[in-house]
Structure 1
Amino acid sequence: MKHAKPLPGYLVQRYHGWKATAYQENQSWYRRLADEGQRPRAMVISCCDSRVHVTAIFGADQGEFFIHRNIANLVPSYEPDGNQHGTSAAVEYAVTALKVAHIVVLGHSNCGGVQGCLDMCSGHAPELDEKSSFVGRWMDILRPGYEKIKDIPDAQGQLRALEKQAVLTSLDNLMTFPFVSAAVEKGQLSIHGLWNDIGEGGLEQYIPATEKFEAI
């Protein structure tokens, strides 16, 4: 492939630093993971946003989380239509092959994808309404959530509410997957909705009994 280039020097330097320190100190653990395979306890579905550091938030080690990242931490509904579905494939593998005990959907503050959905649905981002927009078509998943928050008067309040609707939409859509709902009903799997305040380091979880996100 003629367009590929060597890795930037600063990344090469960081790799060698990791190999000489973190890896060297834990090489037996890495080899065990390689030889015995992964057995993660949980799958985490989070946003691609570089500010959301999933393993750091929970102090997780290698092999502990099966992590899938996409724009706005969305899960589509179950649609086995023959098209390529990266998120659906990741969920299927986590539940049916890895047998994870938990699926965590992790949303966050100041989410650019959710802001794009808000702009698109309110008519302020016509470019996202174009059929050629991958981001727009992905954010269509969240359109029903926009209908629930569109009457909130202030823009910041709308954004925060829609960020949490993204989590709830994903939780609802997870339950449309037959293998997910079956595992939940058998008590083999639990699903969880979280929202992370990046600036404050806060973490909230959705409580069904109150239908609210509450601080952990």
Structure 2
Amino acid sequence: MQFARPLPPFLIARHRDRRSARTADELRRLRELAEHGQNPRAMVIACCDSRVMESEVFGSEAGEFFVHRNIANLVPPYTDDGQQHGTSATIEYAVKVLKVRHLIVMGHSRCGGVAGCYDLHTGNTAQAPDPDSFVGHWLEILEPSVKPLIAEGLSREVALRRLEQQAVLRSLCNLMTFPFVAEEVHVGRLQLHGTWKDIGDGDLEVYDAETNAFYRL
């Protein structure tokens, strides 16, 4: 593949620095994971945003979390159309094969995907919708949550925060359309969790189903 190029020097240097700093305990842990396989207790579905990392939020180490990241931390509704679905395939593997006990959807502040979806529906963008855009089609998952917010006449700042958290709740609802997820939830082997991270201070908010609200830890 002639189009594939070597890693840039700054990444090579960072890897070498990280490798030289590994402790004996870290190396032993890595060897155990390689030999015995992974057994994560939780899966995290987060946004691709580089400012959002489960390791920064929970202080995780190798082998602790099964992680999937996509635009705006969205989960599509279940479908059996036989097509290739990356997010759905990852969820299936986590639940059916790894048998995770916790599935966490992590939204965040200043999400570009959420803002793009909101601006598109409020006319706050100069760009015309691209019918061939992968991102545009992906964000259609969030459309049912946008229109009610627009009707409330909220300021853009307030609406975006609400929509970021609605993206989490929309994903949780869509998770329950997967038969194998719903079954595990109903028998008590799997718990779903909704979270929202403030990237400005690193704090985490968690969704409480009883109050139908997010609260800060």
1:121: which partner in 2? 121
1:200 offset after TM fit, Å? 2.0
Partner of 1:166: 167
* 1:3 counterpart letter in structure 2: F
Distance 1:90 1:125 in 2: 33
Shift of 1:19: 1.4
- SS at structure 2 position matched to 1:22: coil
Counterpart in the other structure of 1:92:
92
TM-score (norm 1): 0.96
What is the letter of the counterpart of residue 101 of structure 2?
A
Gaps of 5+ in 1: none
1:68-99 deviations in Å (ceiling 9; x for gaps): 00000000000121221100000000000000
How far apart are the structure 2 equivalents of 1:2 and 1:155?
Answer: 46
Greater shift in the superposed pair: 120-129 or 21-30: 120-129
Describe the superposition over 1:40-80 as per-residue Cα deviations: whole angstroms up to 9, x where unpaired.
01000000000012112101111000000000000000012
Correspondences of 1:1-216 after superposition (within 5 Å):
1-22=1-22, 26-125=26-125, 127=127, 129-150=129-150, 151-216=152-217
SS in 1 for 2:21: helix
SS at match of 2:78: coil
Q: CA deviation at 1:124?
A: 3.4
1:205–1:213 Cα contact (<8 Å) kept: yes
2:214 alignment partner AA: F
The alignment partner of 1:129 has SS state of coil
TM-score (norm 2): 0.96
102-111 vs 20-29, which moves further: 20-29
Residues 157-206 of structure 1: CA deviation (Å, up to 9, x unaligned): 01001000100000000000000000000100000000011102221111
Cα distance between partner residues in 2 of 1:57 and 1:193: 14
Tell me the number of residue pairs that the alignment of Structure 1 and Structure 2 aligns. Answer: 216
